[in-house]
C-alpha cells in the first residue's frame, strides 16, 4: 500500500452507510441526546485473500512501538501454533489451513470497536474511544483490575503479570500518534500486497461491498466487524466463513448495551429502597405502638375492673359486717334482757323461798334455830 493507492481509495464516495449501532440509537431513543459516530472516523480493512503471511506488519508494529522485533520472521514453523497478542506483540498473524488449496492468513489485533467493551468496563476511565476512531489507553490511571480483559469479546488486552512496579495493559493503538501526524499506521504502510487498507470506515465498508460484488464466490458474503458487537473499526474480508479463521461469532449488541440495564437499575434502587424500607420500619413500629397501646389499655382496664370489683366487694363486706354487728348487738341485748329477767325471777323466787323459810322458823314448834 502506498500513498497514491491510499489517496485513490479516499476518492471513493457514494452511499455512506453510517452503520451506527442500532442498539445505541435504541438505547438513547427515549433521551434528549443523539448518538452519532464521527462520520470521518477511520478504520482498516484486512483482506485475507491478499494476505501472504509475511509478517512484515508485525515487524513494523514492533518498530513503531519500540517493542522487541518478532522472532523467527520467515520461519513457517511459527504458524504451527495459534498465537495471540502479547504485552510485547500488539499484533500477530495466524495461519488457517484448508482441506484443499492454499492456507489463509489473518492478522489479529485490537479491533477498535465503535462501542468498546474495555472503555465501558474500565472503572477508572483508562480507555477512551476517540472520535477519530482509535481506542486509546492511559497508563497513568490503570489500577490493574483486568476487567477490560474479561469484557473484551475478542480477548485482546494483554497484561504485565510479571511486573511489580508499573504493570500495564497492552494492545494495538491504531498508531493514534502517527495518525495525528498524518501518517499511516505502521502495519498498513508496510504491507506489500495491499491486504491492509486504511481510510474512513464508511468508505472501507463501501470498498468491501464492492469487492464482494465484483468477485462473487471469492469472498464470504459478510464483512466481519460491520455489525459485530455494535461494529468495529477493523473490518475483515475472508474467502471462507469468518469463524474458520478463528473469529468469534458475536451478536450485534454492543457490550455497553448489555450492562446498561443493570446499571440503570442501580439508581432506581437508591430511590425506591429508602421508601420501601422506611415503610417496613414504620409499619413494624406502628404495629409495636398499637400493641403497646392495646397492652396499656388492657392493663388499665384490668386494673380499673379489679379496683371497682374490689370496691364492691369491700362495700358488700362492710354492709355484711354492719348487719352482723347489728344482729349480734340485738341478740346480745335480748340475751341480756333475758338474763336480767331470769336473774330477777331467780332472785324473787329465792327471796320468796327465804321469806317462807323465815316464816316457818318463826312458828312455835320447838324446832328452831340454835
The reply on whether position 194 binds another protein by CB under 8 A is: no
- Contacts of residue 154, defined as CB under 8 A and 6 or more positions apart, other chains included, come to 110, 111, 248
User: Least distance in Å: CB of 64 to another protein?
Assistant: 22
Residue from 4, 34, 362, 367 touching another protein (CB under 8 A): that is 34
Contacting residue, 50, 147, 240, 244, with another protein by CB under 8 A: 147
CB of 153 to another protein, least distance (A): 6
d(C-alpha 131, C-alpha 362), whole Å: 167
Q: Which is nearer to another protein, 69 or 274 (CB)?
A: 274
CB hemisphere CA count around 50 (13 angstroms): 14
- For residues 278-297, which are near another protein according to CB under 8 A? 278, 280-281, 284-285, 287-289, 292-293, 296-297
Restricted to residues 108-127, the positions that interact with another protein (CB under 8 A) are 114-117, 119-126
Q: 127 to each of 86, 159, 171, 225, 309, how far by Cα in Å?
A: 18, 14, 11, 20, 85
CB of 204 to another protein, least distance (A): 18
Query: How far apart, in whole angstroms, are the C-alpha atoms of residue 73 and residue 54?
Result: 8
Candidates 141, 243, 314, 340: give the one binding another protein (CB under 8 A): 141
Q: What letter would DSSP give residue 229?
A: G
Of 153 and 194, the one with the shorter C-beta distance to another protein is 153
Contacts of 170 (CB under 8 A, 6+ apart): 85, 86, 87, 88, 90, 157, 158, 159, 160
Contacting another protein (CB under 8 A), which of 14, 69, 103, 144? 144
CB of 195 to another protein, least distance (A): 26
Region 58-97 residues binding another protein, contact defined as CB under 8 A: 84, 86
d(CA 75, CA 72): 5
Among 136, 145, 212, 240, binds another protein (CB under 8 A): 145
Four-point Cα dihedral 242, 247, 250, 254, nearest 10: -120
Which residue of 261, 363, 364, 366 would you call a contact of another protein, by CB under 8 A?
A: 261
Provide the grid cell at 230.
455494535
Residue in 2, 8, 18, 166 binding another protein, rule: CB under 8 A: 166
Please state, in angstroms and as integers, the Cα–Cα distance from residue 157 to each residue in 93, 109, 150, 153, 362, following that order.
16, 9, 9, 10, 162
Which residue in the set 83, 146, 183, 211 belongs to the binding site for another protein (CB under 8 A)?
A: 146
Amino acid at each position: 500500500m502506498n500513498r497514491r493507492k491510499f489517496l485513490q481509495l479516499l476518492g471513493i464516495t457514494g452511499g455512506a452507510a453510517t452503520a451506527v449501532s442500532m442498539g445505541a440509537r435504541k438505547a438513547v431513543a427515549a433521551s434528549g441526546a443523539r448518538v452519532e459516530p464521527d462520520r470521518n472516523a477511520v478504520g482498516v480493512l484486512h483482506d485475507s485473500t491478499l494476505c501472504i503471511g509475511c509478517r512484515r506488519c508485525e515487524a513494523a508494529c514492533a518498530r513503531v512501538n519500540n517493542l522487541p522485533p518478532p522472532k523467527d520472521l520467515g520461519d513457517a514453523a511459527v504458524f504451527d501454533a495459534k498465537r495471540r497478542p502479547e504485552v510485547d506483540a500488539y499484533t500477530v498473524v495466524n495461519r488457517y489451513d484448508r482441506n484443499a488449496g492454499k492456507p489463509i492468513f489473518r492478522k489479529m489485533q485490537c479491533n477498535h470497536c465503535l462501542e468498546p467493551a474495555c472503555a465501558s468496563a474500565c472503572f477508572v476511565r483508562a480507555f477512551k474511544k476517540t472520535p477519530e476512531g482509535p481506542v486509546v489507553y492511559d497508563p497513568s490511571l490503570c489500577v490493574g483490575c483486568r476487567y477490560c480483559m474479561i469484557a473484551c469479546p475478542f480477548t485482546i488486552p494483554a497484561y504485565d503479570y510479571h511486573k511489580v512496579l508499573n504493570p500495564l495493559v497492552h494492545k494495538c493503538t491504531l498508531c493514534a500518534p502517527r495518525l495525528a501526524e498524518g501518517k499511516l499506521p505502521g502495519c498498513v504502510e508496510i504491507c506489500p500486497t495491499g491486504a491492509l487498507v486504511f481510510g474512513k470506515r464508511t468508505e472501507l465498508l463501501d470498498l468491501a461491498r464492492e469487492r464482494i460484488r465484483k468477485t462473487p464466490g471469492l469472498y464470504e458474503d459478510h464483512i466481519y466487524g460491520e455489525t459485530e458487537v455494535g461494529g468495529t473499526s477493523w473490518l475483515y474480508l475472508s474467502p471462507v466463513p469468518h469463524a474458520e479463521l478463528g473469529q468469534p461469532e458475536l451478536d450485534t449488541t454492543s457490550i455497553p448495551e448489555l450492562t446498561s440495564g443493570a446499571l440503570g437499575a442501580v439508581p432506581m434502587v437508591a430511590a425506591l429502597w429508602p421508601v420501601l424500607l422506611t415503610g417496613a420500619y414504620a409499619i413494624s413500629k406502628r404495629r409495636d405502638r398499637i400493641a403497646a397501646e392495646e397492652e396499656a389499655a388492657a392493663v388499665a382496664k384490668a386494673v380499673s375492673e379489679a379496683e371497682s370489683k374490689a370496691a364492691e366487694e369491700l362495700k358488700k363486706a362492710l354492709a355484711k359486717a354492719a348487719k352482723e354487728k347489728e344482729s349480734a348487738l340485738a341478740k346480745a341485748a335480748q340475751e341480756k334482757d333475758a338474763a336480767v329477767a331470769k336473774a330477777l325471777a331467780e332472785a324473787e323466787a329465792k327471796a320468796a323461798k327465804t321469806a317462807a323459810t323465815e316464816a316457818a322458823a318463826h312458828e312455835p314448834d320447838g324446832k328452831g334455830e340454835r
